[in-house]
Amino acid sequence: MTEEPEVLARIESGIGRITLNRPKALHALNRAMCEAMIEALLAWREDDAVKSVLIDHSGERGFCAGGDIRMIAESGAGDASAAKAFFDTEYKLNHLLFEYPKAVTAIVDGIVMGGGVGISEPADVRIATERTTYAMPETGIGLFPDVGGGWFLPRLPGQTGVWLALTGARLKAADTVFLGIHTHYLSTDSLEAFRAILSADPAYPIDVADGLEEDAGEAPVEAHLEAIDRLFGFDTVEEIFAALEADGSDWALAQLAVLKTKSPQSLKVSLRQLRTGAGLTSFADNMAMEYALGGRAVRTHDFQEGVRAVIVDKDNAPRWSPAELAGVTDADLDALFAPLPDDEAWKPLL
């Protein structure tokens, strides 16, 4: 038996269809998968037979749980060359989707984290279902919300992006649609109808989604928007900690307890990433920032330790270093964020 490819790319009824096909790994992305998607997207870009693009996944367990973290950690323990090559390719894919001239639809049915967010957020139509669980949990493994998080998260309402980036909070569809992370809610029972109608009218996926859209229900996050804006609106993590403690509500103290389990370095890196990304004027500039940052972050103690604790040993007891916010200095952050020389800097495909 020959193994099926990890990405299925084909043209069906005017739709360029990309199906993630690595179900045992929850479709976690590796470099070859990113390359396969890039190849298909470039081939379809000027192909008049392709009216729009649809990204979905095989099986029922999740859309995409992220990137190949074990490989990235193993590479980061050395010279990080394989990790940087993966980031370079993945970010080229993210940017290609962001700038793609044809409508892109992502059916985000199930778990969507990290790299899965990176290939779905640039889509014009982003469909959540009752099985959708969205998160950017990178601060819990000593990393930061990359794949465009520095662009998308600060552009969510108020300070919700900062709250999501720092806490790694998991959201269901009612919240993701309310916040605009996803554009439509369809129950899984409606997905085949969506695909069928799209096949008849492949150029206008947003009209098809609008026609089938269902009510995702009340958004639990709505009750906390005022608190999120008030408590996460600072430019230092220390001020956010102090504000949460001073607020003293059950919700604020619960957020503080979560934050205290995260990597202090990652919290500071992520906050600077989002504040910087908010002021950038091009997605490419954001990806260049994240590429420089990512190549350094994967070589830090906290990323290696976070992967050990959460993914390898699974003891969920990381020993962060520095263990306190005060130990992470502005000079440390400046070194992580320093631009790369031009011959090493990330550049988009097109």
Answer whether the bond into residue 322 is a cis peptide, omega within 30°. Answer: yes
Options 67, 114, 168, 294, the catalytic residue: 67
Neighbouring residues of 92: CB distance < 8 A, sequence distance ≥ 6: 34, 38, 348, 349
Q: Which tokens in the block code for residue 187?
A: 């129950």
Residue 327 burial (CB count, 10 A): 12
3-state secondary structure of 125: strand
DSSP line for 141-158: GT----TTHHHHGGGSST
* In the block, residue with structure tokens 């479709």: 27
Burial 167-203 (b: 16+ CB within 10 A, else e): bbbebbbbbbbbbebbbbbbeeebbeebbebbeeebe
Residue 215 burial (CB count, 10 A): 8
Cα–Cα distance for residue pair 193/199, rounded to 1 Å: 10
Q: Which residues pair with 62 in a beta bridge?
A: 111
Cα–Cα distance for residue pair 234/87, rounded to 1 Å: 29
- From the list 68, 67, 58, the residue with the least C-alpha distance to 23 is 58
* In the block, residue with structure tokens 């990806």: 287
| Known active-site residue 146 | yes
Options 138, 175, 302, 305, the catalytic residue: 138
CA dihedral 276, 278, 282, 288 (to 10 degrees): 30
Options 16, 114, 115, 142, the catalytic residue: 115
| Known active-site residue 138 | yes
Helix/strand/coil percent split, the chain, to 5:
50, 10, 35
Q: Which tokens in the block code for residue 272?
A: 């600077």
Options 6, 68, 146, 290, the catalytic residue: 146
The residues carrying an active-site annotation are: 67, 115, 138, 146
